[in-house]
């Protein structure tokens, strides 16, 4: 486990219950705290990765490149995964760091808190979380299944999708909400004390995530630059059209109705889930997993050569 | 009380504890429900307003014009107020309906629920609510003080500001949040089942008010067309600039940091409030009230020729 912050520390502590885990962190105080918490800790990246079945990169995003270089200098790991919140840039970095390998499976556990660091880590943090595991056209299926087995063994739901698909989705449901919240907070502040005195529930909810540390927001958004810019453009165009409609004496009824429908479609609980099983030996496995993730489904278990899958079933 | 829906019904039931209240509603079933709840109910607008000290228009916004015409046909009321959620259009309609009068004080109690109709009314709905009372350059101060006395007597905080100032403020803290939520909900839906499966807290909060009935959102926004279009333009320009920065390899750090600062500035509780008193006979009363509202303050009581005022005091 390379990086023992909130996610890496939580995952290392959880995995240490059932696996032989060695962690490393570039920060000496973090290494000491991890040792005091009973984790096996190595003094260097090379020492941490030597002879391991799986290497997990769990550093902050800006440090991924340099850690990859250290891993590569120590040799090619059997299987490599990571927990970064954007996936295409990490995939590119892995391809640049290793010629022709390693067996890399990009990962993103969708859990977190506003806190950070090993001191905030908790072996239960990731319990039940959705966990994206990237499946590219050239991803080694055995490596993917090995990581999926580990992750489902923690009680997490594995969502299969490509790095590009992941990044496009989180641009819409995470990056964009943070930037709209920032813009709304500024629009309110521009109205001065009177506007802020009249602000209530809709302003409070719409600006809540603007309370996130701005350097985290910028890191998340900047790293997902291309996907976010695309999602952004369509949204800005929609808002500009509504503003123009208003200005020319028209109505925002269409935007309000379409937005209402979209929101109701999201909150409407599926009427149920459809369970299915796929054999790991199935020659159509890669396509089945890709379709499962695209349908909003996930893998719940990998055991005895069989994947248990779940997909939502919606009304109508 | 002309209109016995959520706000008119709640206000009539609350006022009836201490005042002689007669209500009217264009809907016969609503009139019957109000009578069964013990309210005095008139069969026509003319009958309802005859000889009254105060007429309150509490119909939905689209009906305000026709009710004003009926009120004008019955004579000029002593004092006229309303509870509509936009103020400049109602002010214009009052000026059009009455030559040279009446003594009109535009009002907006900032309370509500997602429900509507007399069946949802509750005498406690308006308890403690901020309540804008409009003060134009030509507003009759005695009429303003009479309505402010009634409203503070209900335990509400009276925020003085102009109709245009009110509309500009609510465009920012109410109209804009609803339209951004609609656009975000659509951006999420555009991402398909995968994006919606990965959506969590930031998407949920950012889209919450897109759950509001879209015809209410459209009515609120369309009636406040001009102020909303202005607030909208600045926000769209900010978002477009951030999208362009991203696309050209830059960072959203500035938007994230500015939005974070704005949000923190709003949630930071004032370190206290400053209480002050103004005599109703003070020749500078109109200016003092205007400054109070612009500073985010309000009137808490009107009694014995003295207004008790409160203004927030912020750190730094």
> For position A30, what pLDDT does the model report?
98
Q: For residue range A276-294, list pLDDT tens digits in order.
A: 999 999 999 999 999 999 9
Inter-chain touch B209–A212, beta carbons under 8 Å:
no
Residues facing A309 on adjacent strands: A276, A299
Superfamily for the B167-267 domain: 6-phosphogluconate dehydrogenase C-terminal like domain (1.10.3660.10)
Q: Does A212 touch chain B (CB under 8 A)?
A: yes
Inter-chain touch B188–A217, beta carbons under 8 Å:
no
Please name the member of A191, A218, A242 whose beta carbon is closest to the beta carbon of B172: A191
The list of chain A residues with pLDDT below 70 reads 101, 113-114, 269-271, 315-316
Residue A283: its H or E element: none
Token pair of A142, please? 């055995």
> For position A272, what pLDDT does the model report?
78
Q: Does A313 touch chain B (CB under 8 A)?
A: no
Instruction: Give the Cα separation of B115 and A200 in Å (integer).
Output: 17
State how far residue B160 is from chain A, nearest Cα, in angstroms: 9
Average model confidence (pLDDT) for chain B?
93
> For position A270, what pLDDT does the model report?
66
Q: Residue B316 above 60 pLDDT?
A: no
Residue A299: its H or E element: strand A298-303
> For position A316, what pLDDT does the model report?
54
pLDDT band of residue B273 (cuts 50, 70, 90) is confident
Q: What is the CATH number of domain B6-126?
A: 3.40.50.720
State how far residue A273 is from chain B, nearest Cα, in angstroms: 13
Query: Which residues of chain A does CATH 1.10.3660.10 include?
Result: 167-267
| ipTM confidence | 0.92
User: A196 near B296, Cβ under 8 Å?
Assistant: yes
Q: Does B62 touch chain A (CB under 8 A)?
A: no
Query: Which residues of chain B does CATH 3.40.50.720 include?
Result: 6-126
DSSP structural state of residue A2 = B
Q: Does A203 touch chain B (CB under 8 A)?
A: yes
What are φ and ψ of residue A249, in 5° steps? Answer: 90, 10
pLDDT band of residue B237 (cuts 50, 70, 90) is very high
Please name the member of A161, A225, A256 whose beta carbon is closest to the beta carbon of B194: A161
pLDDT band of residue B271 (cuts 50, 70, 90) is low
Q: For residue range B59-82, list pLDDT tens digits in order.
A: 988 899 999 999 999 998 999 999
Task: State the count of interchain CB pairs (< 8 A) between A and B.
Answer: 359
Q: Does A296 touch chain B (CB under 8 A)?
A: yes
Closest chain B residue to the Cα of A167, Cα to Cα: B195
> For position A102, what pLDDT does the model report?
73
- Nearest Cα neighbor of A21 from A45, A54, A43, A57 is A54
Please name the member of B183, B238, B294 whose beta carbon is closest to the beta carbon of A259: B183
State the pairing for strand pair B79-82/B103-105.
parallel
3-state secondary structure B55-89: EEECCCHHHHHHHHHHHHHCCCCCEEEECCCCCHH
Sheet holding A107-109, edge to edge: A107-109, A130-134, A157-161, A298-303, A306-313, A272-279
pLDDT (mean) for B169-196: 96
Q: How many CB atoms lie within 10 A of CB B300?
A: 16
Inter-chain touch A191–B231, beta carbons under 8 Å:
yes
Q: Does A179 touch chain B (CB under 8 A)?
A: yes
The radius of gyration of chain A's CA atoms, rounded to the nearest angstrom, is 22
Instruction: Give the Cα separation of B18 and B20 in Å (integer).
Output: 7
pLDDT (mean) for B92-102: 85
Q: Residue B251 above 60 pLDDT?
A: yes
User: B224 near B170, Cβ under 8 Å?
Assistant: yes
pLDDT band of residue B272 (cuts 50, 70, 90) is confident
pLDDT (mean) for B38-49: 97
Q: Does A182 touch chain B (CB under 8 A)?
A: yes
């Amino acid at each position: 486990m390379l990086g023992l912050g909130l996610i890496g520390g939580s995952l290392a502590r959880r995995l240490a219950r059932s696996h032989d885990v060695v962690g490393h962190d570039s920060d000496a105080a973090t290494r000491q705290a991890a040792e005091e918490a009973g984790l096996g800790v190595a003094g260097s990246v090379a020492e941490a990765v030597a002879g391991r079945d799986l290497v997990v990169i769990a550093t902050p995003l800006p440090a991924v490149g340099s850690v990859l270089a250290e891993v590569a200098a120590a040799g090619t790991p059997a299987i490599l995964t990571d927990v970064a919140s954007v996936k295409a840039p990490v995939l590119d970095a892995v391809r640049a760091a290793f010629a022709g390998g390693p067996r890399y499976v990009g990962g993103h556990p969708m859990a977190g808190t506003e806190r950070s660091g090993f001191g905030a880590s908790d072996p239960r943090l990731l319990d039940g979380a959705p966990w994206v595991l990237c499946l590219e056209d050239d991803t080694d299926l055995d490596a993917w299944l090995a990581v999926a087995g580990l992750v489902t063994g923690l009680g997490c739901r594995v969502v299969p999708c490509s790095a590009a698909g992941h990044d496009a989705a989180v641009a819409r449901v995470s990056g964009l909400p943070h930037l709209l919240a920032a813009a709304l907070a500024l629009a309110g502040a521009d109205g001065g004390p009177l506007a802020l005195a009249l602000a209530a529930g809709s302003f409070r909810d719409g600006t809540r995530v603007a309370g996130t540390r701005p350097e985290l927001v910028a890191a998340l958004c900047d790293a997902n630059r291309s996907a976010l810019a695309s999602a952004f453009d369509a949204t800005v165009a929609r808002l500009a059209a509504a503003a123009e409609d208003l200005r020319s004496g028209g109505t925002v009824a269409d935007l309000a109705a379409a937005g209402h429908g979209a929101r109701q479609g999201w909150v409407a609980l599926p009427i149920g889930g459809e369970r299915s099983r796929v054999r790991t030996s199935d020659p159509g496995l890669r396509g089945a997993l890709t379709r499962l993730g695209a349908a909003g489904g996930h893998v719940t278990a990998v055991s005895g050569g069989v994947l248990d899958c779940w997909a939502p079933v919606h009304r109508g």
